[in-house]
């Protein structure tokens, strides 16, 4: 009789072990299956935060600042988590490191160091990009940024924009022996080929 009880006890423990094994393995198998499907579909894991972010997420090109057309200036902002985290000010690309300056309490920002002449409307851009601007995506798909009396309208940066920048970069320039006449205005600076991400990739 004692032997029967011991056998039953061992059988019960084995059943519990099998139940917990199934409970642990089944979720793992489901996750593995989902990962396989995502890989086949071309989903990249760095895109996962975008699933939980707002419609403002992405890179945007400024169309107007305070009502003035600036589309050719190359002002860019990248929005993540409801904040402007990187951009291009018409001369230099910049991005926030994610760290905070202990002295000022402000986010630490790094930038490329290209020397440029003063750019019209750059101060308005910087106020929107570096200030705590209110943002909203309208029904037309454009992003509106506003802080105080400074406002800007932006559209999404697209693959076509990247191709255009690449074509400009590959286009041969004028010969060194034939510089432009002194009276010619300087060309508007262009954003990087892969805007912002070329210098400051983020998640």
CATH of domain 53-170: 2.40.128
- CA–CA–CA angle 37, 43, 45 (5° rounding): 110
Predicted confidence (pLDDT) per residue in 87-102, tens digit: 999 999 999 998 988 8
Which tens digits make up the pLDDT trace of 102-124?
Answer: 888 888 899 999 999 989 999 99
Percent of the chain with pLDDT over 70: 61
Domain ranges of the chain: 22-51, 53-170
Q: What is the pTM of this model?
A: 0.61
| DSSP code per residue over 118-168 | --TTHHHHHHHHHTT-EEEE-TTS-EEEEETTEEEEEEE--HHHHHHHHHH
CA distance 109 to 101: 9
């Amino acid at each position: 009789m004692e032997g029967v009880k011991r056998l039953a006890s061992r059988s019960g423990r084995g059943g519990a072990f099998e139940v917990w094994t199934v409970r642990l393995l089944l979720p793992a198998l489901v996750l593995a299956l989902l990962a396989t499907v995502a890989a086949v579909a071309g989903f990249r894991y760095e895109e996962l935060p975008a699933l939980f972010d707002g419609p403002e997420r992405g890179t945007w090109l400024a169309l107007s600042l305070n009502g003035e057309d600036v589309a050719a200036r190359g002002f860019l902002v990248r929005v993540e988590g409801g904040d402007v985290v990187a951009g291009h000010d018409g001369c230099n690309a910049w991005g926030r490191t994610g760290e905070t300056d202990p002295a000022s309490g402000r986010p630490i920002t790094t930038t490329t160091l290209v020397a440029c002449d003063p750019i019209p409307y750059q101060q308005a851009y910087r106020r929107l990009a570096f200030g705590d601007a209110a943002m909203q995506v309208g029904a037309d798909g454009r992003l509106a940024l506003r802080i105080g009396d400074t406002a800007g309208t932006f559209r999404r940066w697209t693959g076509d924009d990247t191709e255009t920048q690449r074509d400009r970069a590959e286009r041969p320039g004028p010969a060194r022996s034939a510089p432009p006449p002194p009276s010619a205005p300087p060309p508007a600076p262009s954003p990087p080929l892969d805007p912002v991400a070329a210098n400051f990739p983020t998640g």
